[in-house]
């Protein structure tokens, strides 16, 4: 480097030859907020975006404005992931949900920071992140227990062995609670995947940061790609495509908007979707978690098999 250049710069070599820094203002690396499909982080194929702001109007990020094609891609990857995920050992699903909680705990500071950027107070942000971690632990524990609570051995009158067990419904599309951007997201995803379903979720439009960052937690939790797919954008635009899609088995909606509820149920009838509305759930309370949320996305299968010569042993065996 030429002497003149050194003079102009704010580094100069001291007599002992060590560099002496004048503090430089470091340029921050901004995060690109992308969507999460099939375990990958693509941008929306539409190339569209919107600017997320806080309540003061300060820009937080450019966020993907997902399209109908993104919904279709996400549903396809959810369907492809369904066979493998539903066939996983229940114990293994529990381990993965627990791992998700561990990863979330490890990145607590980042989530608190993002929630605060999105107008939460520090105390509220901490509370929401803590609840979200604990909710994942709660459902991690249910993964290999709800089957025992929800199943039955049925004492039929004929000589058959007969039992009923829950099996996952399939691909579940969800519009996550819009106000609780992290807790709401976790609260709807966890029971659905704990039960062996795969999912496509639209995160909060106004507070999209946490849902994108949560995808990074999923990505580092051994959760197979496609089990949870997360889109950002307008639910009013995307939800009708979800409700019309013939390879989607169930829908979840958490807001009070009656027109949307009606639209989802009407369109959902196209292939007899299970449409679940959670517009009265308080996600902050203990009533925001229970095995009945898992049950909402389970089908009961009853299996029969003949028993040879029932009771044939008389009193002697």
Stretch that binds another protein, among 67-75, 185-193, 221-229, 267-275 (CB under 8 A): 267-275
What token pair was written down for 98? 């627990």
Residue holding tokens 């013939």?
246
What token pair was written down for 30? 């901004």
17 near another protein, rule: CB under 8 A: no
Binding-site member from 31, 69, 122, 160 for another protein (CB under 8 A): 160
What is the spatial distance between Cα 39 and Cα 170, in angstroms, rounded to a whole number? Answer: 18
Q: What is the DSSP letter of 288?
A: G
265 near another protein, rule: CB under 8 A: yes
Q: Smallest distance from the beta carbon of 262 to another protein, in angstroms?
A: 4
What is the spatial distance between Cα 166 and Cα 148, in angstroms, rounded to a whole number? Answer: 9
Stretch that binds another protein, among 4-12, 120-128, 212-220, 269-277 (CB under 8 A): 269-277
Q: Which is nearer to another protein, 6 or 300 (CB)?
A: 300
The answer for residues whose C-beta is within 8 angstroms of residue 295's C-beta and 6 or more apart is 146, 150, 166
What is the spatial distance between Cα 261 and Cα 252, in angstroms, rounded to a whole number? Answer: 10
Binding-site member from 6, 109, 269, 310 for another protein (CB under 8 A): 269
Q: Kindly provide the residue ranges of all beta strands, DSSP E only, lying in 148-260, ordered along the sequence.
A: 152-153, 160-168, 171-175, 198-202, 228-231, 250-253
258 near another protein, rule: CB under 8 A: yes
Stretch that binds another protein, among 37-45, 93-101, 125-133, 270-278 (CB under 8 A): 270-278
47 near another protein, rule: CB under 8 A: no
Q: Which is nearer to another protein, 106 or 270 (CB)?
A: 270
Q: Smallest distance from the beta carbon of 268 to another protein, in angstroms?
A: 7
What is the spatial distance between Cα 109 and Cα 121, in angstroms, rounded to a whole number? Answer: 14
What are the residues binding another protein (CB under 8 A)? 149, 152, 154-158, 160, 162, 164, 169-170, 249, 258, 261-263, 265-266, 268-272, 274, 290, 292, 299-306
């Amino acid at each position: 480097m030429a002497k003149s250049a050194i003079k102009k710069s704010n580094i100069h070599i001291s007599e002992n030859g060590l560099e002496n820094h004048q503090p430089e203002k470091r340029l921050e690396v901004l995060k690109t907020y992308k969507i999460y499909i099939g375990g990958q982080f693509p941008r929306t194929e539409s190339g569209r975006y919107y600017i997320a702001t806080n309540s003061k109007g300060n820009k937080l990020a450019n966020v993907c404005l997902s399209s109908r094609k993104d919904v279709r891609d996400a549903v396809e990857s959810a369907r492809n992931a369904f066979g493998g995920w539903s066939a996983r050992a229940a114990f293994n699903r529990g381990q993965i949900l627990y791992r998700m909680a561990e990863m979330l705990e490890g990145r607590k500071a980042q989530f608190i920071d993002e929630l605060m950027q999105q107008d939460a107070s520090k105390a509220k942000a901490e509370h929401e992140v803590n609840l979200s971690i604990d909710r994942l632990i709660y459902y991690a524990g249910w993964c290999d227990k709800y089957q025992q609570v929800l199943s039955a051995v049925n004492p039929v009158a004929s000589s058959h062995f007969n039992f009923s067990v829950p099996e996952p419904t399939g691909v579940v599309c969800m519009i996550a609670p819009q106000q609780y951007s992290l807790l709401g997201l976790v609260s709807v995803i966890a029971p659905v995947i704990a039960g062996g379903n795969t999912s496509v979720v639209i995160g909060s439009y106004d507070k999209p940061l946490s849902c994108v960052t949560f995808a990074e937690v999923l990505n580092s939790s051994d959760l197979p790609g496609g089990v949870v797919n997360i889109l950002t954008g307008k639910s009013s635009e995307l939800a009708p495509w979800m409700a019309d899609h013939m390879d989607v088995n169930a829908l979840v909606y958490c807001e009070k908007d009656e027109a949307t509820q009606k639209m989802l149920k009407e369109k959902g009838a196209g292939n007899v979707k299970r449409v679940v509305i959670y517009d009265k759930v308080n996600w902050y309370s203990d009533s925001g978690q229970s095995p009945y949320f898992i049950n909402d996305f389970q089908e009961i299968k009853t299996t029969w098999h003949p028993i040879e010569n029932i009771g044939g042993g008389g009193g002697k065996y």
